[in-house]
């Protein structure tokens, strides 16, 4: 790998990350993974709450922080104090991008409007991540990811039909908003090459969820159909389900295309199913979905998972196990593509985490270091980026600004 490639495709880009938890910081993580210099401003007292979030706290630290804080520099600044706001303005003046995910109006209260920041730094791109966006009647409401998931339509269609809506098991709404913000940043930077000016990227949680809801709204608009919770299936798409295997294990099989279903029927030793008028076409399989799933489940229940995977893979039928963390670590595909990497942590030692995605052939992203200690880079950044003297840094520290 060349030195340029090692630096990443966003090398030379400076990002000021202001915000907490997931929606804003995951946007910063994405940009940092691909080489941007991400300077994270944190409260001097406690820092980002993600430093203490998680089901468990081994050695008193969150396993979540090393991931979402990776490749970032931590600078402590009290943004509630005028001196802290002035310091933030000074740092933003040197940046290409600023990311914030406070409730709309907070930046304005601190005197950090985009207009005033862009007056000093016209090329600045500001990514604003919030529950409902910067405009509209709901703009000032508090909006966590679960609210965006519900408003965007995801919660209603997730789970079993006879139970309340379920969650995905991860903070998918926050992550989707962060990814849309990161896409918006790159679009704005590309436009800046033509115009010479930055702009505001307004990423709302509920809209980021809505963006991935496929044809949910258009189908209702055209037919009046309201999509409901359907558990492990999509109504009318068959076979595509979770099926039992011997010993209590499970397998996922996707055989809903006509040619794929024919291969599945052959693997089952029942090629006549592909010619049966009840299952011969996509539409017919959708109508007879429950009956077909029962036939397949009866067959899969007599197989050990590994043997069944080999059988279906031999016949070209999409299938797979349901992966957990131990399965991922042991799987040769994860290993071959370095999907999981190790990095050194000052407290935990060697720790594993997901790599930077997607993969770029010439300038890939990478994990350079895990989430830093609170304020680890304060003096370095204030000296080298903000241009402060040691006496000025000491004065700010004495006043509790940093």
Query: Residue 18: which H helix or E strand, with range?
Result: strand 14-18
From 33, 174, 202, 293, active-site residue: 174
**Phi and psi angles of residue 113, each rounded to the nearest 5 degrees, phi first:** -70, 155
Q: Torsion angle, CA of 124/129/134/140, rounded to 10 degrees?
A: -140
CB 345 within 8 A of CB 66: yes
List the structure tokens of 237: 């798409």
Element (H, E) at 102: none
Percentages helix, strand, coil for the chain (3-state, rounded to 5) are 40, 15, 45
191: how many CB neighbours lie within 10 A of its CB? Answer: 14
Residues 6+ apart with CB under 8 A from 52: 46, 62
Residue 230, classed as helix, strand or coil, is coil
Q: Which of left, alpha, beta for 363 (phi over 0: left; psi -120 to 50: alpha)? A: beta
| Two tokens, residue 97 | 């991008």
**Cβ(346)–Cβ(336) below 8 Å:** no
Helical pair 258-267 and 305-314, crossing angle rounded to 10 deg: 130
Q: Are 229 and 245 in contact (CB under 8 A)?
A: no
- Under the phi-then-psi rule, with left for phi > 0, alpha for psi from -120 to 50, and beta for the rest, what region is 19? left
Is 327 catalytic? The answer is no
Task: Give the number of other Cβ atoms within 10 Å of residue 252's Cβ.
Answer: 14
Q: Which of 117, 152, 156 is nearest to 138 (CA)?
A: 152
Block residue for tokens 């893979």: 313
Strands (DSSP E) found in 196-348: 200-204, 240-244, 250-254, 319-320, 340-345
Strands 37-42 and 72-76: parallel
Residue listed under structure tokens 């679009």: 187
Taking only Cα atoms into account, the Rg of the chain, rounded to an integer number of angstroms, comes to 25
- Catalytic positions, please? 174
């Amino acid at each position: 790998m060349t030195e340029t490639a090692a630096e990443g495709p966003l090398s030379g880009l400076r990002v000021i990350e202001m915000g907490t938890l997931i929606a804003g910081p995951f946007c910063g993580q994405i940009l940092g993974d691909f080489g941007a210099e991400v300077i994270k401003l944190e409260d001097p007292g406690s820092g980002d709450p993600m430093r203490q979030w998680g089901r468990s706290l081994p050695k008193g630290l969150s396993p979540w922080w090393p991931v979402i804080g990776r490749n970032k520099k931590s600078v402590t600044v009290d943004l509630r104090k005028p001196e802290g706001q002035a310091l933030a303005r000074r740092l933003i003046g040197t940046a290409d991008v600023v990311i914030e995910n406070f409730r709309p109006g907070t930046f304005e209260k601190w005197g950090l409007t985009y207009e005033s920041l862009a007056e000093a730094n016209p090329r600045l791109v500001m990514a604003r991540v919030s529950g409902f966006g910067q405009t509209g009647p709901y703009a000032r409401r508090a909006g966590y990811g679960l609210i965006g998931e519900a408003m965007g339509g995801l919660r209603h269609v997730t789970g079993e039909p006879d139970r309340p809506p379920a969650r995905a098991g991860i903070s998918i709404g926050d992550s989707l908003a962060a990814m849309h913000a990161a896409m918006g940043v790159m679009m704005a930077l590309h436009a800046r090459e033509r115009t010479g000016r930055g702009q505001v990227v307004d990423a709302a949680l509920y809209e980021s969820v809505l963006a991935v809801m496929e044809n949910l709204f258009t189908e209702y608009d055209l037919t009046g159909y309201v999509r409901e919770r359907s558990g492990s299936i999509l109504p009318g798409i068959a076979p595509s389900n979770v099926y039992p295997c011997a010993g209590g294990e499970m397998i996922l099989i996707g055989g809903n295309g006509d040619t794929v279903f024919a291969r599945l029927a052959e693997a089952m030793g029942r090629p006549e199913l592909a010619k049966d008028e009840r299952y011969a076409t996509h539409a017919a399989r959708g109508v007879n979905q429950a009956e077909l799933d029962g036939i397949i489940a009866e067959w899969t229940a007599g197989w050990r998972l590994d043997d069944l995977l080999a059988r279906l893979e031999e016949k070209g039928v999409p299938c797979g196990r349901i992966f957990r963390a131990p399965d991922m670590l042991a799987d040769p595909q994860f290993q071959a593509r370095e999907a999981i990497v190790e990095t050194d942590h000052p407290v935990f030692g060697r720790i594993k985490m997901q790599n930077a995605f997607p993969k770029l052939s010439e300038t890939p992203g990478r994990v350079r270091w895990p989430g830093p200690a609170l304020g680890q880079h304060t003096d370095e950044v204030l000296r080298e980026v903000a241009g402060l003297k040691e006496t000025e840094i000491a004065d700010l520290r004495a006043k509790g600004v940093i």
